[in-house]
Each structure stands twice: as structure tokens, then as C-alpha cells.
Amino acid sequence: MREAIVKYNNIKAGILTEENSGKYVFVYDEMYVQTYPKQFSTFKLPVTTRSYRGKRLFPFFDGPIT
């Protein structure tokens, strides 16, 4: 399992995890959700307390990760 801290405008926005199964999970940071409830890093990942799960890396993160 690998994890990355995701920052938006230099503020911790959440955690991106690649599970051992190869699936991806993104969860917004609790403080970020409370402070920026109407903000979003992409239209497909609006700020929420629920986690986003996918079999592939979310397209928004595909470019910045090298």
C-alpha cells in the first residue's frame, strides 16, 4: 500500500492511497472538508466526507504524479 498527501493551493486537501489490490482511494482531509465545503480539486471529486474509490488512478491525479 502506498499513500500520498494531496495538497491544493499548498493546503492539505486529502490522502490518495494505492491499495495492495491496485485499487485507488481518495479521501478529503476532515479539516479541509470543514473549512472548504464548497471547494473542489476537480468537478468529479467534489468536497465530501465520503471516500472516492476506483480501479484506476483518478484522471485528475494522473498528470501531477511522476
Per-residue pLDDT of the chain (66 residues), as tens digits, is 999 999 888 999 999 999 999 999 999 999 999 999 987 666 678 899 999 999 988 777 766 554
- Provide the pLDDT for residue 58: 75
Name the E strands within 19-59.
24-28, 52-54
User: Domain residues of the chain, as ranges?
Assistant: 2-62
The pTM of the full predicted model, rounded to 2 decimals, is 0.82
- Report the C-alpha gap between 23 and 15 in whole angstroms: 14
